[in-house]
Amino acid sequence: MRLYMKEHLPLYLFVSVLFVMGVIFGALMVGALSPGQKEEMARHVNSFIQIVHQGDELGGQTTFRDSISLHLKWIGLIWILGLSVIGLPFIFLLDFLKGVLVGFSVGYLVGQLSWKGMLFAFVSIAPQNLIVIPALVLCSVSACAFSLYLVKNRFAQKRGTLYPTFVRYTSLTLCMAALLFGAAMFEAYMSPVMIKWVAPMLIAEAG
């Protein structure tokens, strides 16, 4: 894995920078919301915090199924896009979009709840994304590398077999799927507990 990362370091840097740009863009989007949109989102956040504070059950099997389904669809789409050269721009678009989603979520919470919003984001968004984001970056780089290998193999005078490279590509994607399984478990069964810990601190601020 270390050799693979060293070999594809430029791709890792490019994908990582693209993701960071998405985070920045998502955070800036918060400032573009109209007062009505901010008020509507504030009501949803306040309602969620109130539900947590009242002790209603969160997470569980439904959350786990939704989470793992979303993660697997995301990396599955990246894997499919990596099988063709024309999929490269869409892989980059997905990485940027993921950054936008994370940046917007964290940016809104911090903008709405100040340091308490940062705390809320720390327990509700950050933990699983510490696994999800690296997994998506690895899948994206692997997909880009395989797509570029297809280009080289197509135009090379002596075409080699694609099978070993395809197996490595698919194996890495499956390994990342296993990590995302763990992230979904954490999101479904641990994040709700952590959110309940900080919910009392957020009631007055969210109100």
3-state SS of the chain: helix, strand, coil percent to 5?
A: 90, 0, 10
Q: Is the pLDDT of residue 187 over 80?
A: yes
Strands (E), the chain: none
Number of residues in the chain: 207
Average the pLDDT over each of 33-42, 56-65, 198-207 and give the range with the smallest value.
198-207
- Neighbouring residues of 129: CB distance < 8 A, sequence distance ≥ 6: 102, 183
Can you give the residue ranges of every domain in the chain? Answer: 2-206
Q: Residues 6 or more apart from 4 whose CB is under 8 A from it?
A: none
Supply the pTM of this predicted model.
0.86
Distance CA 68, CA 188 (A): 10
**Largest Cα–Cα distance of the chain, in whole Å?**
69
**Integer Rg of the chain from CA:** 20
Predicted confidence (pLDDT) at residue 36 exceeds the cutoff of 80:
yes
Closest CA to 126 of 94, 100, 103: 103
Q: Count the Cβ atoms, other than its own, within 10 Å of residue 18.
A: 19
- pLDDT band with cut points at 50, 70 and 90 for residue 179: very high
Q: How confident is the model at residue 188 (pLDDT cuts 50, 70, 90)?
A: confident
Confidence of residue 1 (pLDDT cuts 50, 70, 90): low
> How far, in Å, are 75, 148, 171 from residue 132 at the CA level?
10, 24, 17
pLDDT given for residue 72 in this prediction = 94
